[in-house]
Amino acid sequence: MRIDLHTHSTASDGTDTPAELVRNASAAGLDVVALTDHDTVAGHGEAIAALPAGLTLVPGAELSCRLDGVSLHMLAYLFDPDEPELARERELVRDDRVPRAKGMVARLRELGVPITWERVAGIAGDGSVGRPHIASAMVELGVVETVSDAFTAEWIADGGRAYVGKHELDPFEAVRLIKGAGGVSVFAHPLAVKRGRCVPESAVAELAAAGLDGIEVDHMDHDTAARERLRGMARDLGLLATGSSDYHGSRKTCRLGEYTTDPDVYAEIAARGSGAAPVSA
């Protein structure tokens, strides 16, 4: 069984439509794929309608959170998408992404980059708008060579010259809301230091005590030492340890199924999730 529990579609900042994503997941030899767009479940219906035979879809989302000024991501699986409290929080974050992206466009223009909100909105389409869409517009303009090159202090990395923050959830509140909606919570890439500051390990322990289910261990932004450290923390704190690609289509270099989750860990996630069920064609 090959299980990839973290992917993005055009419903947020991936480049595959949800239908393309499930077809590509099947072609990549995956048995299980989770669709975890940023702060939205908008891609689930299309992904389910296009599910190839033999592939199971785990409905999910990646929630934008912040603790003591440090941004972090919380993966949520198998929650009830209609549970009003969690749905409202997703909406608040999503809605705030628009004025925030416009703010970053304005700062970039002040820095002499001829980027327009119309172009960024065009690239984002119906998707929840984020920095990777702005980065793609910067690549088009020749300001940077790759999407990743835009994530520097010079441009739109956390705290960068053109960075603007957005509304983000308290991660303790996120864990509570996910559980309240019957879902399973997994702290995404907790030690992805190349993306910016990370929360201290004590925060992971506190989240575990507050009901966090797991942490993402095998991820492209974790080096070997970070993975070993996280595996130890998962063991000590009784957390599930997952692995996943964080696939974004052509907007990032990682391939579907580049990292995977152990079948026993997936079985435990499926057993704990009660707000929605994995879907098979």
Site for ligand AMP in 164-223 (CB under 6 A): 194-195
Site for ligand AMP in 29-48 (CB under 6 A): 38
Q: Which does 274 bind (CB under 5 to 8 A by kind): Zn ion, ligand AMP, Fe ion, none?
A: none
- The site for Zn ion (CB under 5 A) is made up of 8, 13
H helices within the chain, ranges in order? 18-27, 44-49, 84-110, 117-124, 131-140, 171-180, 201-209, 224-237, 263-272
**Shortest distance, position 244 Cβ to ligand AMP, whole Å:** 13
Q: For residues 14-47, b (16+ Cβ closer than 10 Å) or e, as one string? A: bbbbbbbbbbbbbebebbbbbbbbbbbbbbbebb
**Shortest distance, position 281 Cβ to ligand AMP, whole Å:** 28
What token pair was written down for 247?
Answer: 């696939």
**Stretch near ligand AMP under the rule CB under 6 A, chosen from 23-31, 42-50, 127-135, 265-273:** 127-135
Residue with tokens 């990646």: 62
Site for Fe ion in 54-73 (CB under 5 A): 62, 73
Q: Is 219 in the site for Fe ion (CB under 5 A)?
A: no
Q: Is 71 helix (H, G, I), strand (E, B) or coil?
A: strand
Among 66, 87, 95, 148, binds ligand AMP (CB under 6 A): 148
**Shortest distance, position 110 Cβ to Fe ion, whole Å:** 28
Q: Which does 188 bind (CB under 5 to 8 A by kind): Fe ion, ligand AMP, Zn ion, none?
A: Fe ion
Q: Is 13 in the site for ligand AMP (CB under 6 A)?
A: yes
221, 249 contact by CB (below 8 A): no
Among 79, 117, 151, 187, binds ligand AMP (CB under 6 A): 151
Q: Residue 245 and residue 3: Cα distance in Å, rounded? A: 10
Burial degree of 55 (CB within 10 A; 0-12, 13-18, 19+): buried
Count residues binding ligand AMP (CB under 6 A): 12
157, 192 contact by CB (below 8 A): no
**Shortest distance, position 223 Cβ to Fe ion, whole Å:** 17
Q: Report CA-CA distances (Å) from 157 to 100, 134, 152.
A: 14, 12, 5
Of the candidates 132, 47, 54, the one whose C-alpha atom is nearest the C-alpha of residue 81 is 47
Q: Is 130 in the site for ligand AMP (CB under 6 A)?
A: yes
Among 246, 257, 266, 276, binds Fe ion (CB under 5 A): 246
Nearer to ligand AMP, 160 or 214 (CB): 160
Q: Is 139 in the site for ligand AMP (CB under 6 A)?
A: no
The residues binding Fe ion (CB under 5 A) are 62, 73, 188, 246
The residues binding ligand AMP (CB under 6 A) are 13, 38, 64, 130-132, 147-148, 151, 194-195, 248
